[in-house]
Structure 1
């Protein structure tokens, strides 16, 4: 069994990831997995999302304007797993400024779609870390949470479990090869 990660991401950030605009996901911590490893993207629920179909008939979910209920674009999952990516490494941040392996502070901000101030406001008590998003795949049809098997940390390894709810930030899951 190979371990992967299921990561919960808000719809507005999922849209930026799906478009290729966001290539760094900033978190307060990281899994104890050596990169590269697979991450499944769980798009959190939003009451302003609606199902639509694209020209090929594949299900898409579009962000809706709350007042007019007109689709304003974007591929969303609204409580579903919309895709996957490989996390090929991490970008550690330290107090005052990020520690970059490659890229300038401005490039990292652009890739994370966040300013340095927003990054530090997100994790004021610790050192945030950037997850590098590569090899992104957005599914033709979003997947149900129930299709994935969670892995609970135990003293002697991991225990398989049914996922009954999405993780608040991220959790370990069994990697799937059939998607």
Structure 2
């Protein structure tokens, strides 16, 4: 276990995991950053427990004919569900509080509002700059979602973090395993609980990778996974996408009516938001089906859409600013 193999394990709530893998969330805001790792470095994503997180694509199909679930139940919370490369970390200092545009630029891609960020940082009005702590924006790139999630036991704390154990051959519990690669036999270093925010880790070991591939192969053999694109041709999937976009548009219009109150709707504000989320979820499913059998997968497609989105957002803001200046 050399320093080159050291990575970071991040604890992320299920709803934020979903937004990361959808390609919408490209920045993770944290109160600290690694000091012994330089960008770029690998980050593993641990999906925290509590809420069902439907990312386990390898077992999406594991449902019985009567509608009941098998023991997997499609849950991936409480497991390591993917990884990414952090290629840049931007400091967000107290000076960002003074200019709204500065902090909005710094947190762009995090999907957090300015009040949410200030609340997370503990920045309160009336506090001096000396009492305000820095935040750090970790940039997400080269995202990969595992088809078969990993257990925490696949990872070890970095040997250099343990006071009584040194690295590799000098470690009293180091084990040579030519067949599966070297690993540390010190179970005190084996990860058995997730970090509150993040921690240094080494892993997963070769034996866990082999086990993961065996599980995946067995599941695919016993339960061959059907795709929407195996049943519907692309023109039909495009037609479905068009319908879902229209329904998302209608849900957005209803939410607008609820917000401005000029054309009332009996639904509550929360119901309108939930309807919009459901329809956007249907749009995402249609895009997933459209890209299932293409060399360019869903995440690459969404990432490239994001590249178009950024300059379009700049033009949108420019036009709004120009209009505002004309009126004033």
Please give the TM-score of this superposition, normalised by the length of structure 2: 0.43
What pairs up with 1:110-125 in 2 under 5 angstroms?
110-124=108-122, 125=132
What pairs up with 1:1-179 in 2 under 5 angstroms?
1=2, 2-32=5-35, 33-46=37-50, 48-49=51-52, 54=57, 58-59=58-59, 77-97=76-96, 105-124=103-122, 125-151=132-158, 153-154=161-162, 161-176=189-204
Q: How much does 1:51 deviate?
A: 6.4
Q: Which protein, 1 or 2, shows the higher relative CO under an 8 Å CA cutoff with sep ≥ 6?
A: 1
Structure number with larger C-alpha Rg: 2
Q: How much does 1:29 deviate?
A: 0.2
Q: Deviations over 1:22-70 (max 9, x none)?
A: 1110000001111110000000001x4176875xxx135xxxxxxxxxx
d(CA) in 2 for partners of 1:176, 1:53:
18
Q: How much does 1:106 deviate?
A: 3.9
Q: Deviations over 1:82-113 (max 9, x none)?
A: 00000101111011417xxxx96545444011
d(CA) in 1 for partners of 2:200, 2:96:
29
SS of structure 2 residue aligned to 1:112: coil
Q: Which runs of 5+ in 1 are unaligned?
A: 61-74
The 8 Å contact of residues 92 and 106 in structure 2, kept in 1 or not, is answered as no
d(CA) in 2 for partners of 1:177, 1:135:
21
Q: How much does 1:175 deviate?
A: 4.5
- Residue in 1 aligned with 2:222? none
- Residue in 2 aligned with 1:65? none
Higher share in helix: 2
> Taking structure 1 as reference, are residues 88 and 177 closer, same or farther at Cα in structure 2, changes over 3 Å only?
farther
Q: Which runs of 5+ in 2 are unaligned?
A: 61-73, 123-131, 172-183, 210-328
RMSD of aligned alpha carbons? 2.9
Alignment length, in residue pairs?
157
SS of structure 2 residue aligned to 1:84: strand
